[in-house]
């Protein structure tokens, strides 16, 4: 996993994947999330696309200028409370 973090173009090399949608028969009778959850491995792979992308468009385009790459880094280190504190700055 550490090798991925050294690649500034990780967001180009690893394709973006969205979680699978639940079956329409289930969705039409429920008012809940329509997507299945990612596994921990899938979440880690997708988040590592962004950790060191070199050009954080997400942060630049965020209307409240959140530090999204910094959040992802803290979360990948298991520092959930640190990530939560960052959003209050």
Domain extent, residue 54, equals 2-86
- Upper half-sphere CA count for residue 12 (Cβ side, 13 Å): 8
Say how far apart CA 87 and CA 35 lie, in whole Å: 25
Predicted local distance difference test score (pLDDT) of residue 81: 92
Say how far apart CA 33 and CA 11 lie, in whole Å: 26
Q: What is the pLDDT of residues 6-19, one digit of tens each?
A: 666 666 677 778 88
Q: What is the pLDDT of residues 17-46, one digit of tens each?
A: 888 999 998 888 888 889 998 888 887 777
Count of CB atoms situated within 10 Å of the CB of 10: 19
Q: How confident is the model at residue 2 (pLDDT cuts 50, 70, 90)?
A: very low
Q: What is the pLDDT of residues 59-89, one digit of tens each?
A: 888 888 888 888 888 877 888 899 889 888 8
Spatial CA neighbour of 57 closest among 3, 2, 16, 4 = 16
Predicted local distance difference test score (pLDDT) of residue 82: 92
Predicted local distance difference test score (pLDDT) of residue 11: 66
Q: How many domains does the chain have?
A: 1
52 has pLDDT over 70: no
* DSSP code for 68: H
* DSSP code for 52: T
* DSSP code for 21: B
């Amino acid at each position: 996993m550490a090798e991925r973090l050294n690649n500034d173009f990780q967001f180009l090399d690893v394709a973006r994947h969205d979680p699978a949608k639940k079956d329409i028969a289930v969705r039409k009778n429920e008012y809940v999330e329509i997507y299945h959850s990612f596994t921990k491995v899938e979440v880690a792979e997708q988040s590592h696309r962004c950790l060191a992308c070199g050009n954080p468009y997400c942060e630049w385009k965020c209307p409240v200028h959140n530090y999204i790459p910094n959040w992802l880094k803290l979360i990948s280190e298991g520092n959930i409370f640190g990530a939560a504190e960052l959003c209050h700055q």
